[in-house]
A and B are shown apart, each in its own frame.
Chain A
Amino acid sequence: MIQTATKDASGRLLPVDTIRKAFPIFSSPEWRELVYLDNAATTQRPQRVLDAIAGYYADSNANVHRGAYALSEKSTGLYESARELVGRFVGAPSPRQVVFTKNATEALNLVAYAWALPRLQPGLQILVTQMEHHSNLVPWQVLAQRTGATLAYVRVDDSGHLDLDDLRQKLRKPTLLVAVTQASNVLGTLNPVARVVELAKEAGAAVVVDGAQSVPHVPVDFGELGCDFLAFSGHKMLGPMGIGVLVAKEERLEEAEPFLYGGDMIATVDWHQSTWNELPWKFEAGTPNVAGAVGLAEAVRFLQEVGLERIAEHDRALTELAYDGLAQIDGVRIFGPPPDERVGLVAFDVDGVHPHDLATFLDARGIAIRAGHHCAEPLMKRLGVVATARASFYLYNSPDDVEALIEGVKAAKEFFSP
């Protein structure tokens, strides 16, 4: 079965050997043999991205938006062209709509505090899906508690799909916003976000999309989605840690209050009042992570050169192999929809083997997977488990990696079973 599947997959796979050469960790003496399957947590970074960061500090370093000198202009130019490139990558109509943050979590908190908080009140509802990561759930929970607004959940069915009838039903109540992930970090489910947006629009609700697991893996177009806000993280798409992005509709950003106050985000400051800078700088108080933005831009160039469609196809081929291989092991239960309806990850559990034992066991064989609740505790409750194991793939993973996983799971089962 696996042999045939590998054959099938070969036409859809990327040239992994060449790609791996671009990533220094895979040629480091310590981790050369590593089978890295925790890409949904964070990815590895190509040398080009590291060089871009070091290069920025080496020959372009100055504070942005201030200096009346050439070096500062150079730094500002790099920062703003990174914004343009990253914005275009996800179909943002204008760089004014692209705000740099520290990660997707901060981007979602920005939406919560800057836009939603002043608009929430008792009688209004926030709708969150049952499959949200804590980052697109806890901010809304806290805002509901603080404002007296209601927090309600859109059901996830047993196959791991969003229940759109339930969404339709719940949208009958006055709703300020719907928070939905484009791809679940546990189930892998690719949600029909454009459809969710349609339904929300009819009900007059805004839509906040968590793109942390989708933007790195499938082509995403902000305009096509039609959502009001889209958040994602650089470090899950070959970029550095500490840089994230919020893309938003211009009118939403215009009507939002600043999130953080201080330097760079102001137009004028008087003793007792200030006015705010234009978009997007109104939301970027203080010296920004310029090197992070430059590194992310280089990561985006790398992804564009490989091609998002090809990456998605590669992910899917590996996911099919993993799904089919794991499903054949007695006692393995896979969560979420079939491979063609998900991004490149598979969460599962093994009868008689706790996910933490499985992760430790696989680690000893040089395979890195994630075990735990994946920052989605309510979803774990919905699935009726306390933890799962999760393998997640990216452009440098090979069918051999998947094979190692499957063999490792079989061996773990034998090791721990009575």
Chain B
Amino acid sequence: MSLEALYQEILLDHYRRPRNFGVLKDADVHEHGVNPLCGDEIEISLKVENGRVADVRFQGKGCSISKASASMMTEAVRGKSLEEIREFVDEMEKVLKGEKEGDPEQLGDLEALKGVSKFPVRIKCALLAWKVLEQGLERAGGGTGEKETT
């Protein structure tokens, strides 16, 4: 597996100029996560309206893979319902682990992350943002009325 297959230009672009970088002040969800193995840190803030992601930001320290993955993720999840995102996170985990090909149309820029599946030690880097988003959604599930049945 060549270096260029892992570090595709589009991935490096997201690393050098991360999209949606920062914190949302009036976010409904703030979620923080670390990768204890390499010390990477990420914080994701989400604004949810009518069960859909209205806005999202991330910030943190990390390698090119974890940063690019987070940056691409923020672009991919905007406007999606929480349910759709949950499915998407599952799908991405399978794609990053090389268990599934994934739909190129749905993946968009995220397609560039697929090379990671050939570098086992770096899969965790790519998954960090997605795991943190998932945690945040669990919380949002309890905070946006969806699960408030009692």
Binding site for B on A (CB under 8 A): 354-357, 360-361, 364, 371-373, 380, 386-387, 415-418
CB distance from A378 to the nearest CB of B (A): 13
A386's partner among B3, B15, B40 (CB-CB below 8 A) is: B40
Known contacts being A354-B63, A356-B63, A357-B64, is A372 close to B15, with CB within 8 Å? no
Q: Are A356 and B125 in contact (CB under 8 A)?
A: yes
What separation, in Å, do the CA atoms of A37 and B54 have in the docked complex?
48
Q: Are B38 and A371 in contact (CB under 8 A)?
A: yes
What separation, in Å, do the CA atoms of A354 and B66 have in the docked complex?
10
CB distance from B120 to the nearest CB of A (A): 11
Cβ contacts under 8 Å, B2 to chain A: 364
Q: Are A364 and B12 in contact (CB under 8 A)?
A: no
CB distance from A374 to the nearest CB of B (A): 11
What separation, in Å, do the CA atoms of A204 and B53 have in the docked complex?
64
What separation, in Å, do the CA atoms of A373 and B35 have in the docked complex?
12
Q: Are A372 and B65 in contact (CB under 8 A)?
A: no
Known contacts being A380-B39, A386-B40, is A354 close to B3, with CB within 8 Å? no
What separation, in Å, do the CA atoms of A373 and B7 have in the docked complex?
23
What separation, in Å, do the CA atoms of A417 and B12 have in the docked complex?
9
Q: Are B64 and A354 in contact (CB under 8 A)?
A: yes
CB distance from B38 to the nearest CB of A (A): 5
What separation, in Å, do the CA atoms of A361 and B64 have in the docked complex?
12
Chain B, Cβ-Cβ closest to A416:
B64
Q: Are B41 and A386 in contact (CB under 8 A)?
A: yes
What separation, in Å, do the CA atoms of A360 and B63 have in the docked complex?
11
Known contacts being A354-B64, A357-B65, A380-B39, is A415 close to B125, with CB within 8 Å? no
Cβ contacts under 8 Å, A373 to chain B: 38-39
What separation, in Å, do the CA atoms of A355 and B119 have in the docked complex?
15
Interface residues on B, range: 20 to 34
Cβ contacts under 8 Å, B17 to chain A: 418
Binding site for A on B (CB under 8 A): 2-3, 6-7, 12, 15-17, 37-41, 61-65, 119, 122, 125
Q: Which of B15, B41, B64: most chain A Cβ within 10 A?
A: B64
What separation, in Å, do the CA atoms of A247 and B7 have in the docked complex?
48
Q: Which of A355, A361, A386, A417: most chain B Cβ within 10 A?
A: A386
User: Lowest 7 A-B CB distances belong to which pairs?
Assistant: A386-B39, A354-B63, A364-B3, A418-B16, A356-B63, A357-B63, A357-B64
Q: Are B41 and A360 in contact (CB under 8 A)?
A: no
CB distance from B61 to the nearest CB of A (A): 6
Extra A-B contacts (10), CB below 8 Å, given A360-B122, A373-B38? A356-B65, A356-B122, A357-B7, A360-B6, A364-B3, A371-B38, A372-B37, A386-B40, A415-B7, A418-B17
Cβ contacts under 8 Å, A357 to chain B: 7, 63-65
CB distance from A261 to the nearest CB of B (A): 34
Chain B contact residues, majority secondary structure: mixed
Q: Are B65 and A361 in contact (CB under 8 A)?
A: no
What separation, in Å, do the CA atoms of A387 and B61 have in the docked complex?
11
Cβ contacts under 8 Å, B6 to chain A: 360
Q: Are B38 and A361 in contact (CB under 8 A)?
A: no
Q: Are B65 and A387 in contact (CB under 8 A)?
A: no
A387's partner among B3, B7, B38, B119 (CB-CB below 8 A) is: B38
What separation, in Å, do the CA atoms of A198 and B132 have in the docked complex?
50
Chain A, Cβ-Cβ closest to B124:
A356
Q: Are A386 and B61 in contact (CB under 8 A)?
A: yes
Chain A, Cβ-Cβ closest to B15:
A416
A372's partner among B38, B41, B62, B122 (CB-CB below 8 A) is: B38
Q: Which of A356, A361, A373, A387: most chain B Cβ within 10 A?
A: A356
Chain B, Cβ-Cβ closest to A358:
B63
Cβ contacts under 8 Å, B63 to chain A: 354-357
CB distance from B67 to the nearest CB of A (A): 8
Cβ contacts under 8 Å, B37 to chain A: 372
What separation, in Å, do the CA atoms of A354 and B40 have in the docked complex?
10
What separation, in Å, do the CA atoms of A355 and B63 have in the docked complex?
8
Cβ contacts under 8 Å, A417 to chain B: 16
Cβ contacts under 8 Å, A360 to chain B: 3, 6, 119, 122
What separation, in Å, do the CA atoms of A227 and B81 have in the docked complex?
64
Chain B, Cβ-Cβ closest to A359:
B121
What separation, in Å, do the CA atoms of A112 and B119 have in the docked complex?
39
What separation, in Å, do the CA atoms of A355 and B35 have in the docked complex?
14
CB distance from B41 to the nearest CB of A (A): 7
Q: Which of B2, B17, B125: most chain A Cβ within 10 A?
A: B125
Cβ contacts under 8 Å, B119 to chain A: 360
Q: Are A387 and B39 in contact (CB under 8 A)?
A: yes
What separation, in Å, do the CA atoms of A418 and B39 have in the docked complex?
23
CB distance from A349 to the nearest CB of B (A): 12
Q: Are B38 and A356 in contact (CB under 8 A)?
A: yes
Cβ contacts under 8 Å, B16 to chain A: 417-418
What separation, in Å, do the CA atoms of A360 and B2 have in the docked complex?
11
Known contacts being A356-B122, A361-B3, is A416 close to B38, with CB within 8 Å? no
CB distance from B119 to the nearest CB of A (A): 7
Cβ contacts under 8 Å, B15 to chain A: 416
What separation, in Å, do the CA atoms of A386 and B41 have in the docked complex?
9
Cβ contacts under 8 Å, B40 to chain A: 386
CB distance from B79 to the nearest CB of A (A): 29
Cβ contacts under 8 Å, B39 to chain A: 372-373, 380, 386-387
